Structures are given as C-alpha cells and as structure tokens.
Copies of this chain bind each other. A is one copy, B any other.
C-alpha cells in the first residue's frame, strides 16, 4: 500500500507509529512542522505529541508555515505542549492562550521565518515533521498540498519525521518547485522572472540518514471555511473591478493585469470570484494561498497560471481538484513560502496585492491583527510581504462590524501593521479610495467619503476638522484618537448618539 511511496529501500526500516515517532521530540526542542493555512499539515504527530505532553513534561517551540488544520493547534495548546509559536495561527484555543499571555507568539512576515532561521536570528530547528506524498529513490521528500517552510526545516533539522499521507494522490508529484536562496555571503539573484517559471527541484532533497521516522497516515486536509460572497463582498469586488478597468484604460497595465495576490479569507475569495466574467484575460496569480476562487478562475479560462505555497479548498472543490489533478498540475506550482512571498520577486513582478484589514484609519494606516490594539486575531501573515513590494497594494474590509457597532474606518488605527507608506487603495462596500500620490490631509476626506459607513461619516469629519484646526502633517487629537474604541468597550458601539 505504501511501498510505491517509499522508494529509498533503507527507509522502510524507519516505519513506526505516531506515538513512537513523537518520542523523538524532547522537552525544550524547536520543532518545524509542515502546514500552511490548513493544508499539507502533519496530522498524526501533533495529536501524539499532545497526548505525550499530558503524561510528561513536554514544552516545545513550534514553527510552521502558517496555520494548521485538524484542530492541531487547539489540541497542542490545550495539552500545554506549546511554549512558543510562530509565525502565524488561526485557532480559537491557541488565540485565547496567546492573549492570556500563556503562549509566546511571534507574529512574522511569512517570507522572513526561513531567512531568520538561516541567519541564526532564531534558534535552530531540532526536529522537522513533514507531511509527504512520497519519498523518492534518492531521498527526496515530495510535499502534499503545501510547501510552506518545509524545505527550510528539512534542510536544517537534525532529525526529520515524515508523515506519509496515503490520501494524497501520487499525481501531486510535479506540482512543487523547491528552490531556496543560499546563505547571504554567497547568494545569487533568484532567477524567477514570471509566475509559471520553475527554478528548482520537484522534491525536498535531504540526506536520507537524517530521516528518523516515517509514519503512515491517511486523513485529508481540513476543508477551508470561507463563506460564500454576500452583498457587501460582491460590492467590494465590483469597486475593485471598476478600478482595474480604469487602470487598463489609463495604460498602466494590459488586459492581463499584473500577477494577482489575494490574502486568505472570505473577502479576498469573493473578490477573485468577482473576476469571473470580467473582461480581464490571460491572468496570472503570484500568491501565497490558492482558495476555491483561484480554481474557479482557472476553470473559467481567465486565469492562465497560479503560483503559490499552498492550496486550501472546500470539500466540493477539493474533490474536483483531485479528480483533475493532472490538468491543474500543468497550471499551478507550489513553492516554498520564502519564494512565494519573497520581496525580490514581488518587487520584480509588480504584484496587485489584495489583503484584508481589520480596521484602517483616515490616513491609510492599516491594522490587520490586533483588536483594540491589544488582542491578537491571527497574525500579519504574508500581507506585508506583498503590500510593501507590490505595484498596487489594496486593503479591503466591510465598513462596519458587530451589527454596525464597530466602524472599520477609525480616526487612528489602534495597531499598525501596514503604514500609510505601503497602502495604495482602500475599499469597502461603499467605495474605493485611491491614495496614490496623496498627502495625509488629502487622503482623509477621500477615505471618509468613499469608504466609511454613512452613519460614521459625520463623526469622522468632525474629528478630522478639529484635528486640522490644531495643525500638523497628519492631524490627530491624541486624547480623542481612541475614544471610539473606548466607547465601544463601555457602550457596545462606536456610534456617538
């Protein structure tokens, strides 16, 4: 059953149960696990480690690609296994423990974790746990539905534990392109100049002697949980399509636009969905995660090629994808997240970057991560890699949340993940504000009138007018800047009645 997937004969002796393999992980270790946005994550070892941590002292630093599926982060958090976690997460239990100060979370640009490991800025990975489709004759690890940081972990770890997932079709071989930059003193330019180009190997090559265990699994990835488009997300998509049409009309790009990046989540998914039937043709994606909408765009024929680090799909789309994998494989490539998000490549290609904001302020500073500047949601993810270096950086949000009690457009962002320097366009269901080439005092009226919910516009206008009377390049009233958030905490609404 698995013999055709372990093609290096000596490795057959490394087969063991998840429980046995988990014993290779010792208290205090740094563990690098595959998995990027609920795709390609190890399924058995996290549960076995959680079980082990309930019986004996076991605390680890866990580094992944991004978020894990299968409630693994929740299980490991509840078991007290996680001391330190990076670079991204999206689990409710883990989130609570991070916000309670029980688990130390390091929120990183997703392109940078591998670089920091390579340079020694982070402690080295002791053990790598990597989900694989197969192991080639020469010890090459073929990933599953995500590459993430797996190649960096495998390159660096003293011991490697493989989860060989029998539910991953062998036809995934050839989907991946494994290339990592060399250490800095001898680094050459990354030769990638277009989304479809392949510059590396089909598998992660390691010395087979470092493969310490192989565990057989057969659970599929967790399905993605994005919601279908609604009236607001459809309106956001409409504003963006109109804007892109105008860019084409102005001669700033062709009908094929520029390579698209879309962040994870419902809004970004809806925006891409909205491109189906638009006049744009010959599109490409250079993104970190492909969701249902990317596959639908490939099916529509408008998207020609998609480069990413991971694919996370709904149950129905997953079934379809696997049925036609050989076809999709010729139009998709999965890369290490260091490459899918690399500033060098993003700047070279000139991406259109679409990411989601939690809130943004009247001057264009974006908060992607912290409720009330204090409580972590998920993490910055790759949004900064793309927003800083792309040609066009768009941030989208619904204008209000909690039934209108929270305005996403605020006087001052309570936490800044993306500064005004890195934000070109803001979009809500009400409209789009093109901030390019504008000073803060020009940005504010545009953001208020185009993006804010009409209920909140008078309050925003009043804040801006009073702040302008006090003066400044970016006029603010420091003691009133967060009064809206305080009002929400006290009264359950930011609205001043």
* A189 touching B348, Cβ below 8 Å: yes
Beyond A106-B439, A122-B436, is A476–B189 a contact (Cβ under 8 Å)? no
Inside 8 A of A448's CB, which chain B residues have their CB?
Answer: none
* B421 touching A374, Cβ below 8 Å: no
* A101 touching B348, Cβ below 8 Å: no
- Chain B CB within 8 A of A388 CB: yes
- Chain B CB within 8 A of A138 CB: no
* B184 touching A374, Cβ below 8 Å: no
Inside 8 A of A109's CB, which chain B residues have their CB?
Answer: 421
- In the bound complex, how far is the Cα of B424 from the Cα of A436, in angstroms? 30
**Interface size bucket, A side?**
35 or more
* B184 touching A193, Cβ below 8 Å: no
Beyond A109-B421, A187-B193, is A350–B119 a contact (Cβ under 8 Å)? yes
Binds B, one of A14-22, A68-76, A216-224, A478-486: A478-486
State the number of copies, please.
2
* A474 touching B119, Cβ below 8 Å: no
* B415 touching A421, Cβ below 8 Å: no
- Chain B CB within 8 A of A205 CB: no
**Which of A99, A349, A472: most chain B CB closer than 10 A?**
A472
Q: Which of A97-141 contact B (CB under 8 A)?
A: 98-101, 104-109, 112, 115-116, 119-123
Binds B, one of A169-177, A250-258, A400-408: A250-258
Give, as a whole number of angstroms, the nearest-CB distance from A323 to chain B.
35
Beyond A189-B190, A485-B478, is A104–B439 a contact (Cβ under 8 Å)? yes
Inside 8 A of A119's CB, which chain B residues have their CB?
Answer: 252, 350, 391
Question: Measuring CB to CB, which residues of chain A are less than 8 angstroms from any residue of chain B?
Answer: 84, 98-101, 104-109, 112, 115-116, 119-123, 181, 184, 187-191, 193, 250-252, 258, 342-344, 347-350, 365, 370, 372-376, 380, 384, 388-389, 391-392, 412, 414-417, 419-421, 424, 436-439, 441-442, 467-468, 470-476, 478-479, 481-483, 485-486
Question: What are 19 contact pairs spanning A and B, CB under 8 A?
Answer: A101-B475, A104-B441, A107-B420, A108-B421, A121-B252, A121-B424, A121-B436, A123-B437, A184-B349, A187-B193, A187-B348, A187-B350, A370-B472, A373-B478, A374-B467, A374-B473, A388-B388, A414-B476, A417-B419
Q: Which 4 A-B pairs have the closest CB atoms?
A: A189-B189, A374-B472, A376-B473, A184-B350
New A-B contacts (19) at CB < 8 Å, excluding given A374-B473, A388-B388: A99-B472, A101-B475, A121-B391, A121-B392, A121-B437, A184-B391, A187-B348, A344-B347, A372-B476, A372-B478, A374-B467, A374-B475, A374-B476, A375-B472, A375-B473, A416-B416, A416-B419, A478-B482, A481-B482
